[in-house]
Structure 1
Amino acid sequence: MKHFKFIFILLGLSNVLAQQPDPPGQVNSGEKAVNEAYLFAHMTHKDYGRLYYSVSKDGLHWQNLNEGERVFDNYQGHPDIVKGPKGNYYIAGNTSDSSPDINIWSSDDLITWEKHAIYTPDLTATPGYENALQRIGAPKLFYDKASSQFIMTWHTPHKEGTKEDPERYWASQRTLFVLSDDLKEFKGPPKMLFDWNIGTIDVIIRKVDSSYYAIIKDETYPTLYWPTGKTIRIARANSLLGPYSLPQEPVSPNFREAPSLIPSPTGEVWYLYYEQYPGVSYGLSIADNLNGPWYQASGYTFFSDWDKYSLPEKVRHGSMITISGKEYDTLVNEFGISLETKGEK
């Protein structure tokens, strides 16, 4: 009997000791963070396509603003925010995938948004993509300091789904882009960003040192013959417009989308979030280099002491950006912050 008790004690200790270490990239007590705070602009499961805010000080634990209510009623789309060269912010969206227009708003403080421009791309003018359907999915923005211009990306399909093969609509999605100096005037017709024949959606572009990274959702359906389907993958290039390498091995499991990338408070580690759709949970992969390797942090375990990150309930995808401590305080003072921080169980 004593022998069995000893085994149970060892098993209990093993469970305690087996917990995943806390994510790297956090500041030690008394140290100053390189990245002071974060904003998550997102939609919710109940109110898809509208604008909500959550904030974080550590990039891991997120809290609702505005009592979980909308922060800007006029916005519709998949929220994506970028900071421009003069310190102001821009957000892009569209009322639906079938709408011909992309709407862009600007803000000095992330609180009051004003209409900045409406862009209506001629999708049929895209070279090599003359059969594009009138669909504009999830417009996203990136400002490239090296070339002093914005790039706006979105996904557009070229095949309708059928009763026998509804998935071909999604597999036919290709990422298009257009360049602009000011997000008012746009240069030429839309073009395809990648030269590989892979369905892609939800593409965000980031630059680290001298390399550009396109973080994508592989939109082919997962099978034994395409095991990377519906995962988050990363491609690399030496210039903004590529050519981009073939995407790396998946960063996420299957059936994940809408990647959001933020640097840790120390600036030495990357946190890559993605949604397990539709609104099931959020995943977090961590690396100290965008070329990997990546590992997945523990979350949504039903044991709070095991969860290494947490998000408000029912959040859906959007974009995460770094903000200053002053901007964090301004947002909290304006909208109020939820006292609880918990992940959806």
Structure 2
Amino acid sequence: MLNKVVLNFMFLVLFTVYCFSQQPDLPGQVVAGEQATNQAYLFAHMTHQDYGRLYYSVSTDGLHWQTLNNGKRVFDAYQGHPDIVKGPDNAYYMAGNTSDADPDITIWKTTDLITWKKHSTYTPNLKQVEGYPNPLQRIGAPKLYFDEPSGKFIMTWHTPHKEGIPGDGERYWASQRTLYVLSKDLKTFEGNPKMLFDWDFGTIDVFIRKIDNSYYAILKDETYPTLYWPTGKTVRIARAKSLLGPYSLPEEPISPNFREAPTLIPSPNDKIWYLYYEQYPGVSYGLSVADNLNGPWFQASGYTFYSDWDKYNLPEHVRHGCMITISTKEYDNLIQEFGITTTNEK
């Protein structure tokens, strides 16, 4: 009888602790009286229902996001996997293409993140890629980065060299390789595309960042996961001393398997990194957190739509895109132009 009473009491205590305990908040937020270094954030993305079109969500803490424009497109002409970079002229540039089969990459430009205008069209010559003799005519998810030391933009994308075959659709994805081209103005481009990595495995969704004296390539390992390739379909990071490498072999996975479309932002106090990635196809978004890009990383709890459990949340059904820091003025202008929708939680 006593044992039963003790067990019931222990269950009650554990249940009470579970229901009323408070998880620690994620690092990187500003405290009372402290000024945020990074004032606000824009997430340019597509949705599960309207794949490849442009939508906006915003945040003031990099963790809790709200939809703009009542969940409608913000720019009808855009198609692609949105990726935005700020250039040396303080204008923003965005790359896209209508599909992987589209031979052209379109570059868009804006000064206010509201009105986008076509800046240029780039058609990479995939028949003239050094060291890559038989690429298919496919261009996936072009991404932009402006490298201050060289004064040049680098645009990356993935191109495969094998078709899928019956019973082995992964043959196509495993053959993806990351290509790049350089440009000073995103109107003229330097030579033919080149391969960014010399590794013999698939990579997609690659973007570059320079932090202190190192360059980091954040990527998706596109090999299918097996006992003999456990890192498959995860987000990983490679390092180099220069923009074009050579890049080290990627480190251990930051995400679980079957994650893609990573995007990286600094925290409001500029001391922590938030790395988001999608659990596909359109299931949810994960978040890993570190105080430097060399790790260690931990996975935050969130996107469950339960406020007592979530440490971050995004609107439902958001898909591939990019997150960037913006000013309070830009944040206010976006809200004034498009209006804001509060994220609902259970």
1:185 to 165, 184, 188: 188
Question: 1:17: Cα distance to partner?
Answer: 7.2
SS of match in other structure, 1:188: coil
Partner of 1:62: 65
How far, CA to CA, are the matches of 1:162 and 1:272 in structure 2?
34
Partner of 1:79: 82
Aligned partners of 2:181 and 2:192 also within 8 Å: yes
Partner of 2:167: 164
> Are 1:214 and 2:217 counterparts?
yes
Question: 1:26: Cα distance to partner?
Answer: 0.2
Deviation string, structure 1 residues 37-63 (Cα, Å, up to 9, x no partner)? 000000000000000000000000000
> Are 1:175 and 2:178 counterparts?
yes
How far, CA to CA, are the matches of 1:250 and 1:16 in structure 2?
32
How far, CA to CA, are the matches of 2:289 and 2:32 in structure 1?
22
Distance change in 2, residues 1:5/1:261 (3 Å): same
2:45 to 42, 45, 68: 42
> Are 1:305 and 2:308 counterparts?
yes
Aligned partners of 2:305 and 2:344 also within 8 Å: no
AA in 1 matched with 2:292: N
Question: 1:303: Cα distance to partner?
Answer: 2.8
Partner of 1:324: 327
Partner of 1:234: 237
Partner of 1:275: 278
How far, CA to CA, are the matches of 2:23 and 2:192 in structure 1?
49
Partner of 2:288: 285
1:155 to 155, 158, 174: 158
Aligned partners of 1:311 and 1:341 also within 8 Å: no
AA in 2 matched with 1:177: Y
Partner of 2:227: 224
Partner of 2:253: 250
How far, CA to CA, are the matches of 1:160 and 1:274 in structure 2?
26
TM-score under structure 2 length normalisation: 0.97
AA in 2 matched with 1:196: W
Compute the RMSD of aligned alpha carbons.
1.3
Aligned residues between the structures: 343
SS of match in other structure, 2:341: coil
Question: 1:304: Cα distance to partner?
Answer: 1.8
1:315 to 295, 314, 318: 318
Where does the alignment leave 5 or more consecutive residues of structure 1 unmatched? none
1:12 to 11, 15, 29: 15
How far, CA to CA, are the matches of 2:296 and 2:19 in structure 1?
26
AA in 1 matched with 2:271: E
Aligned structure 1 segments of 4 or more residues deviating by more than 3 angstroms: 16-20
Deviation string, structure 1 residues 263-314 (Cα, Å, up to 9, x no partner)? 0000000000000001000000000010000000001345321110000011
Aligned partners of 2:304 and 2:313 also within 8 Å: no
Question: 1:198: Cα distance to partner?
Answer: 1.5
Where does the alignment leave 5 or more consecutive residues of structure 2 unmatched? none
How far, CA to CA, are the matches of 2:209 and 2:201 in structure 1?
20
Give the percent of matched residue pairs that are identical in Structure 1 and Structure 2.
73
Partner of 2:29: 26
TM-score under structure 1 length normalisation: 0.97
SS of match in other structure, 1:330: helix
Aligned partners of 1:61 and 1:341 also within 8 Å: no
Deviation string, structure 1 residues 178-232 (Cα, Å, up to 9, x no partner)? 0000000000100000011120000011111011000000000001111000000
Question: 1:12: Cα distance to partner?
Answer: 2.5
How far, CA to CA, are the matches of 1:281 and 1:18 in structure 2?
25
How far, CA to CA, are the matches of 2:71 and 2:212 in structure 1?
37
AA in 1 matched with 2:219: I
Partner of 1:133: 136
SS of match in other structure, 2:330: helix
Question: 1:165: Cα distance to partner?
Answer: 1.3
How far, CA to CA, are the matches of 1:183 and 1:82 in structure 2?
11
